[in-house]
């Protein structure tokens, strides 16, 4: 795979993010306005009318660019609506960055929104085109699809299912503890390991605390040319690498695939690392926001992103390697698990945590001077998915 | 109306098979729940994802391998999954019968079973008799009915396991069993009225069939009827040299005569005669004689052994499956109905589990793909039907959130012997039997019904067959 990358060519100079959660009193229009207003209010040097173009990510809370231009009453601006499953927010960001890097625009905004709690149903809904009724995705829910990782991982690496359960519990416990320190998180309370393990089952061995929060929310980022960044803020966030791959969905029909890895994540991470000049992610990455849609996902991601050796992540998890005070803090903001997962907004929410951490505005969960940071956003399921990895940093070079 | 003739078609039964669903409803539990006396034993119950079409496929799949494909298919049932649309065409697709084969339903009453047998015997075709029999909670139909199917492939009499020696019929109009269209359950007059009507009809047709074949006394006599008083006296009408019996399983509608005949063929020796009597709005008698080929061509699993197996279904679950108990669904949207054009384009995949194998590198694609996932070759694929294949569970899960007509939904990733992987639902509620490595076989089922459209597709069922020469019995001892 070849990509030229746009290392240090664009910068984020402003961000906004609503609280994630069950916003019964807020529409998608409200959430879009709330997030963008917050962003512009915090970036007084860049006026809303100066934004040249917008990229809007939403899975299903609207169609077309008018989902954004109408509620914000934009003045005949270009708005591109993108969708890429649960990596939709990251995809809006990626394309917005490329628009600036290409020279087509100087100031753009990436926005992501999802209004999930108006449907009246549990979990995510699908909006599939008419089909023949045979696709397993039509019936098998997301928690069930990701629960396949658990027995497969135990079998492949000979891990005692009880130890695996402990590792999954530890991930849920950690992300709840982190979310408890985050005023914008959906779930703001620490949860005991006993409570996590006693929760009602959803699919396979996954209980409700192994699943991310279903929520409403919006987030956004203002992106400019790197050389212009200091006109708008004294602490810009620079883009070092952006990679997205859409898998051929081979694993779902390949007996050689063993459900202990996401080949799409491995590929996108390698690409992003190369663009960013990262050769040893374990030492060079100081913070990672990853797609912890379900607890076994985060565990497998530690290996796919190169943070742990194959078959060893469960031990590293139990050793506390990825806690706030660990060797590589993962999901310090609470992750999808506890911050919540309004699909189109999640990728931008991950970047929002990097943004806050770089600016030392992360409050109770502030890390000490983080350098290169990673966001990882995944859409689909084991056997076939899209995967996005970004590397961002607080400084040029 | 009165007919009698020796059979001159030149066709005989060349293979046969019965299918009894796996679930059993214990009559004691039924009785205890309703506070009635429901007797002992169990009735055979189709699962929530089975209907007359899927059970018909299951029975017919066993009779076809290794034999010339039939040019006609007659599908008999009193519980058609569709009206206005031919159900036999779904069987035709699932069985991958020749495109120019005729396929039609013979639907309506239990007599349709004999009609399908007769039509197939005249044309060298395939007769599939299948039914789901239900009744109001506490009714005789619910207690004593059976769900099941039987299939008979007719071909050259010289290659048959049983030939038809004679047939005799009589038709009589009287009110014994009936059901208005749209009514889920049937009605019946006082059964002794029907009995009195049926007795002379049975005697008349049986005698004439025997006489036409100069048979004197039959070796085996089997009598079936939807009238329960007739069923109670099934063994009393004609003497038999070796056995006299009624339905082996309880009344199975249009499948009843087929299940009884399959059971008789399971038990008969070579060169023995079987007098099959079916008393439905008249009576039909079929006199058959087995050949020396029978011993080598019996169905894989006899009716008696199928009947002896099974796992119990709780009565509340059974009532839910049949629509008598409307239970709270998961908080998930109803599934969409399958769309016509994609279903037609994907007929091979949806109805006969046919994938594609790359001509260049042999990678198997399920569902079929135009582009090879292994080597990238485009439009260089050969169809690979996997309905008869065996596979192994690579991983699995129990989905408690998913919408299912009978939660929880169980899905497994299945790797097929000889290549190919896909994710299939596990049929017959056997999640407690699943481990990584469990052996499974595909079965044709109805995933759900939405918008009046039945979503037919394949599921996987656990099988004792291990593919390594190890039998289920061997395994249970270790």
Report the residue from A136, A201, A254 with minimal CB separation from B400: A201
Q: Do B335 and A139 lie within an 8 Å CB cutoff?
A: yes
Number of other CB atoms surrounding residue A342 within 10 Å = 33
Indicate whether B467 pLDDT > 90.
no
Tokens of B14: 């060349």
Contact B338 A132 (CB under 8 A): yes
What per-residue confidence (pLDDT) applies to B7? 54
Contact B75, B57 (CB under 8 A): no
Q: The tokens of B467 are what?
A: 């593919």
What is the nearest CA distance from B397 to chain A, expressed in angstroms?
5
pLDDT digits (tens, 9 = 90+) for A80-119: 999 999 999 999 999 999 999 999 999 999 999 999 999 9
Q: Does pLDDT of B9 surpass 80? A: no
Q: Which residues of A touch B338 (CB under 8 A)?
A: 131-133
* List of chain B residues whose C-beta atoms are within 8 Å of the C-beta of residue A161: none
Residue-wise pLDDT for B109-157, tens only, equals 999 999 999 999 999 999 999 999 999 999 999 999 999 999 999 999 9
The fraction of chain B above a pLDDT of 70, given in percent, is 95
For residue A255, the chain B residues in CB contact (below 8 A) are 394, 415, 419-421
Q: Residue B411 forms beta bridges with which residues? A: B397, B425
- Tokens 């490595």 map to which residue? B437
Distance CA A213, CA A216 (A): 10
User: What is the spatial distance between Cα B359 and Cα B365, in angstroms, rounded to a whole number?
Assistant: 12
The answer to pTM > 0.90 is yes
The counts of H helices and E strands in chain B are: 13, 24
Phi, psi of A103 (to 5 degrees): 90, 0
Mean pLDDT of chain A, nearest integer: 97
pLDDT at B395 over 80: yes
Q: If we measure between CA atoms, which residue out of A253, A347, A283, A340 comes closest to residue B423?
A: A253
Per DSSP, the three-state class of A317 is helix
Residue A292's nearest CA partner among A204, A174, A127, A122 is: A174
Q: Which residues of B92-126 are buried (b: 16+ CB within 10 A; e: fewer)?
A: bbbbbbeeebbbbbbbebbbbbbbbbbbbbbbbbb
Interface-testing mutation among B413, B426, B436, B448, with chain A (most A C-beta atoms within 10 A): B413
* Contact between A141 and B332 using a beta-carbon 8 Å cutoff: yes
State how far residue A385 is from chain B, nearest Cα, in angstroms: 15
Of all residues in chain A, the one with the smallest CA distance to B397 is: A204
Q: Which of A17, A39, A86, A154 is catalytic?
A: A86
- A185: Cα separation from own chain's centroid: 14
Which residue of chain B comes nearest to A203, CA vs CA?
B399
The answer, yes or no, to whether the previous bond of B32 is cis (omega within 30 of 0) is: no
Q: Do B346 and A134 lie within an 8 Å CB cutoff? A: yes
- Which of B338, B402, B426, B459 is the best residue to mutate to test the A interface, defined by the most A CB atoms within 10 Å of its own CB? B402
Q: For the sheet containing B364-365, what is the strand order? A: B364-365, B354-358, B381-385
Closest listed residue to residue B323, CA positions, set B48, B4, B70:
B48
Comparison of pLDDT for A152 and B329, the residue scoring more = A152
SS3 B224: strand
> What is the distance between the alpha carbons of residues A58 and A218, in angstroms, rounded to a whole number?
10
ipTM comes to 0.92
> What's the pLDDT at B2?
41
Asked if A203 and B401 come within 8 Å (Cβ–Cβ), the reply is yes
Chain B contact set for A140 (CB, 8 A): 397, 399, 402, 409, 411, 423
Listed residue (A166, A192, A199, A167) closest to A177, CA to CA:
A192
| CA-angle at A356, arms to A354 and A361, nearest 5° | 150
- Partners of A120 on chain B (C-beta within 8 Å) are 331
Q: Nearest by CB to A144, which of B365, B399, B447?
A: B399
Active site residue A376: no
Phi then psi dihedrals of residue B453, to 5 deg:
-110, 130
Taking the C-alpha atoms of residue B289 and residue B268, their distance in angstroms, rounded to an integer, is 10
**Positive/negative CA dihedral, B113, B115, B121, B123:** negative
Nearest-Cα distance to chain B for A254, in Å, is 6
Question: Cα B269 to chain center, whole Å?
Answer: 24
**Could you give the CA distance from residue A171 to residue A162 in angstroms, rounded to a whole number?**
14
For B397, which of A120, A204, A248 is closest by C-beta distance?
A: A204
Please give the DSSP secondary-structure letter assigned to residue A322.
T
Q: How far apart are CA B225 and CA B278, in angstroms?
A: 6
Q: How far is CA A273 from CA A96, A372, A389, in A?
A: 20, 11, 9
Q: Which of A176, A291, A341, A376 is catalytic?
A: A341
Task: Flag if A203 and B367 touch (Cβ within 8 Å).
Answer: no
Q: Which residue has the higher pLDDT, B158 or B468?
A: B158
Distance (Å) from the C-alpha of residue A194 to the closest C-alpha of chain B? 21
Verify whether residue A341 is a known catalytic residue.
yes
Distance from CA of A140 to the nearest CA of B (A): 6
If one counts every other C-beta atom within 10 angstroms of the C-beta of residue B190, the result is 9
Task: Please indicate whether, in this complex, the C-beta atoms of B397 and A255 are within 8 angstroms of each other.
Answer: no
Task: Dihedral sign for Cα A292, A295, A296, A299, please.
Answer: positive
Residues of chain A with pLDDT below 50 are none
Tell if the CB–CB gap between B419 and A258 is shorter than 8 Å: no
Residue B466 has pLDDT above 70, yes or no: no
Model confidence at B332: pLDDT above 90: no
């Amino acid at each position: 795979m070849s990509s030229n990358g746009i290392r240090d060519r664009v910068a984020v100079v402003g961000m906004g993010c609503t609280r994630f959660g069950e916003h019964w009193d807020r529409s998608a229009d409200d959430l879009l306005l709330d997030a963008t207003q917050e962003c512009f209010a915090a970036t007084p040097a860049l006026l809303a009318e100066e934004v040249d173009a917008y990229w809007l990510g939403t899975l299903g809370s609207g169609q077309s660019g008018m989902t954004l231009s109408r509620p914000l009453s934009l003045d005949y601006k270009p708005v591109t609506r993108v969708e890429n499953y649960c990596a939709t927010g990251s995809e809006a960001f990626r394309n917005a960055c490329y628009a600036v890097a290409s020279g087509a625009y100087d100031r753009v905004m990436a926005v992501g929104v999802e209004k999930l709690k108006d449907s009246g149903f549990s979990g995510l809904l699908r909006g599939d085109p008419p089909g023949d009724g045979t696709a397993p995705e039509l019936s098998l829910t997301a928690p069930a699809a990701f629960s396949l990782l658990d027995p497969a991982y135990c079998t492949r690496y000979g891990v005692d299912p009880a130890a695996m359960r402990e590792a999954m519990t530890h991930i849920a416990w950690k992300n709840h503890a982190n979310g408890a320190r985050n005023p914008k998180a959906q779930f703001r309370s620490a949860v005991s390991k006993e409570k996590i393990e006693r929760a009602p089952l959803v699919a396979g061995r996954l209980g409700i605390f192994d699943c991310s929060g279903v929520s409403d929310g919006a987030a956004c980022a203002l992106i400019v040319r790197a050389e212009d960044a200091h006109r708008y803020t004294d602490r810009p966030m620079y883009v070092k690498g952006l990679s997205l791959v859409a898998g051929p969905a081979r694993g779902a029909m390949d007996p050689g695939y063993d459900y202990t890895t996401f080949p799409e994540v491995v590929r996108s991470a390698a690409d992003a690392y190369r663009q960013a000049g990262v050769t040893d992610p374990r030492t060079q990455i100081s913070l990672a926001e990853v797609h912890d849609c379900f607890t076994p996902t985060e565990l497998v991601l530690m290996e796919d992103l190169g943070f742990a050796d194959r078959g060893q992540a469960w031990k590293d998890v139990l050793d506390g390697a990825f806690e706030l005070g660990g060797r590589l803090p993962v999901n310090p903001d609470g992750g999808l698990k506890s911050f919540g997962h309004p699909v189109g907004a999640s990728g931008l929410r991950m970047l929002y945590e990097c943004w806050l951490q770089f600016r030392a505005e992360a409050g109770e969960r502030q890390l000490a001077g983080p350098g290169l940071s990673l966001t990882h956003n995944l859409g689909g399921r084991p056997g076939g998915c899209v995967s996005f990895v970004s590397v961002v940093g607080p400084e040029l070079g | 109306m009165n007919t009698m003739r020796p059979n001159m078609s030149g066709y005989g039964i060349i293979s046969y098979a019965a299918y009894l669903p796996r679930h059993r409803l214990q009559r004691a539990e039924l009785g205890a729940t309703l506070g009635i006396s429901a007797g002992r034993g169990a009735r055979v119950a189709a699962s929530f994802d089975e209907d007359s079409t899927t059970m018909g496929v299951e029975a017919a799949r066993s009779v076809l391998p290794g034999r010339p494909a039939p040019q006609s298919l007659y599908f008999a049932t009193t519980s058609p999954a569709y009206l206005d649309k031919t159900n036999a065409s779904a069987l035709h697709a699932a069985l991958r019968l020749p495109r120019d084969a005729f396929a039609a339903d013979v639907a309506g009453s239990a007599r349709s079973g004999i009609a399908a047998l007769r039509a197939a015997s005249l044309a060298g075709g395939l007769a599939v008799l299948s039914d789901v029999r239900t009744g109001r909670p506490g009714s005789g139909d619910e207690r004593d009915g059976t769900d099941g199917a039987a299939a008979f492939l007719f071909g050259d009499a010289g290659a048959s396991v049983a030939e038809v020696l004679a047939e005799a019929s009589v038709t009589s109009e009287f009110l014994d069993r009936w059901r208005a269209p749209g009514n889920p359950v049937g009605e019946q007059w006082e059964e002794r009225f029907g009995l009195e009507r049926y007795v002379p009809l049975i005697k008349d047709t049986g005698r004439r069939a025997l006489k036409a074949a100069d048979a004197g006394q039959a070796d085996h006599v089997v009598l079936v009827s939807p009238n329960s008083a007739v069923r109670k006296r099934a063994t009393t009408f004609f003497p038999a040299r070796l056995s006299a019996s009624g339905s082996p399983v309880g009344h199975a509608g249009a499948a009843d005569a087929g299940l009884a005949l399959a059971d008789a063929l399971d038990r008969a020796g070579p060169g023995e005669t079987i007098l099959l009597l079916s008393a439905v709005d008249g009576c039909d008698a079929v006199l058959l004689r087995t050949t020396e080929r029978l011993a080598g061509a019996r169905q894989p699993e006899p009716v008696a052994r199928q009947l002896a197996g099974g796992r119990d279904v709780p009565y509340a679950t059974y009532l839910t499956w049949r629509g008598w108990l409307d239970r709270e669904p998961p908080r998930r949207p109803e599934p969409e109905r399958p769309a016509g054009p994609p279903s037609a384009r994907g007929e091979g995949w949806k109805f006969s589990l046919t994938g594609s194998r790359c001509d260049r590198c042999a990678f198997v694609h399920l569902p079929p793909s135009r582009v090879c996932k292994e080597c990238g070759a485009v439009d260089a694929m050969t169809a690979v039907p996997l309905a008869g294949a065996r596979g192994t569970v690579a991983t699995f899960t129990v989905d408690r959130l998913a919408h299912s007509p009978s939660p929880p939904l169980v899905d497994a990733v299945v790797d097929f012997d000889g290549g190919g992987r896909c994710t299939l639902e596990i049929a017959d509620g056997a999640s407690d039997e699943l481990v990584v490595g469990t052996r499974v076989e595909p079965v044709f089922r109805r995933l759900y019904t939405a918008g009046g459209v039945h979503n037919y597709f394949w599921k996987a069922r656990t099988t004792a067959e291990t593919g390594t020469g190890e039998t289920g019995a061997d395994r249970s001892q270790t």
